[in-house]
Amino acid sequence: MRCSTESDPSEDKGGSDLSGRGFRKDLLQEKVLHEAATKTIRVACQSLLPEGNARVLELLAGPVGVMPRGDPPNVITGVGNWSEELSRNRSLSHCVVADLIADPVLPFRSDCFDGAALFFGVETLRNPEEVFAEISRVLKHGAVFLVVYSPVTDRAHAHSRWNVMDSQERLSTVVSYFESARTFGPVTAYGTKKRIRSDASKKQYPVRDQAAIWIAYAKSRSDESRAWDLLTPLERKDEEEADPFRCPYCGDRLKKYEVPHSVYEIDYWYEADHLYICFNDSCPYFERGWEWMWSQMRRNVSYRHMYNPTTRKSGPIPVPTNYALRDGIVDDA
């Protein structure tokens, strides 16, 4: 590993050495990283980031490496504030000293990384929208940007609003950073629960409490992806000849969905207690829906194919995320 102001061969911009400005990552990681958090992060990286000779970017890198390198190992480039911290991180293949908090510019050419991650410290960014836009610029089309954050923060460097936010407000703020870049797809987020222990348990087993962590991620979408010929109709089977309980776009069997009853009477609009919906995430109708809704309305939403057995009509049903409506799936004997 080499640690300098020079990046790996995929870059085309220079950099200037910094005298260790910015918050120290080792102090924050010492408070946040524990066995459960490290395991959760490694599982997320293994399932979301590419493996084997892929170029992966780690933002605000610190002395502890939590990203698995894979077999064969990935080429991980770390960008951080302190050269001595980066030199202790043995998981990095290259490291670049740069203060993204003060200057939100990445010294790399566009479309050169297969994935990116930011482990803790998102709350310290002074211009997060610009940083997320830069990350989107250096990512290849379809590459995942993974953000991990925790309620435990470095209050000396976190912006003041973050310190008074609750968990939902922080999640909404991170999601807004993705959306501000305008080149990321839908954001998926999940978290771990903080372990609740009784006073007696703490006295008997005086171990450090484990703070919860949150994970949010989205895929980058290049300008070319939004320039698809969206006016070309998708191929689908003729509705009169096709099985109404199979998706005419991908052929998967539709799943039975229970329409929720609420004060807004959503069941009234569909005139049915149950609908049949295609939940195949690889369905071309669902996949292209993201691009269509973005090109027409600048909204990060899509739609799925739906069949109404009461009216015997099919059409789109809107979804804001890939996991929306799934809790309403029921067994269809």
Domains of the chain, each with CATH number or no CATH: 2-224 (3.40.50.150), 228-333 (no CATH)
pLDDT band at 28 (very low <50, low <70, confident <90, very high): low
Mean pLDDT of 216-227: 66
Range of 188-202, 225-239, 291-305 with top mean pLDDT? 291-305
CA distance 200 to 309: 57
Structural contact between residues 141 and 221, judged by C-beta atoms closer than 8 angstroms: yes
| pLDDT surpasses 80 at 231 | no
List the structure tokens of 136. 């989107």
CA triplet 252, 253, 254: central angle to 5 degrees? 115
pLDDT on residue 306: 94
pTM of the model: 0.62
Which span out of 113-122, 204-213, 219-228, 231-240 was modeled with the highest average pLDDT?
A: 113-122
- Interatomic CA distance for residues 292 and 300, integer angstroms: 10
Strand segments (E) across the chain:
2-4, 55-59, 75-80, 94-97, 113-119, 139-149, 188-191, 214-219, 255-258, 274-277, 302-308, 313-319
Selected residue with higher pLDDT from 332 and 155: 155
In this prediction, residues 265-282 reach a mean pLDDT of 77
At residue 89, the pLDDT reads: 87
Q: Say if residue 153's pLDDT is above 80.
A: no
CA distance 298 to 286: 16
Report the pLDDT value the prediction gives residue 13, as an integer from 0 to 100. Answer: 46
pLDDT at 257 over 90: yes
Alpha carbon distance 78, 114 (integer Å):
14
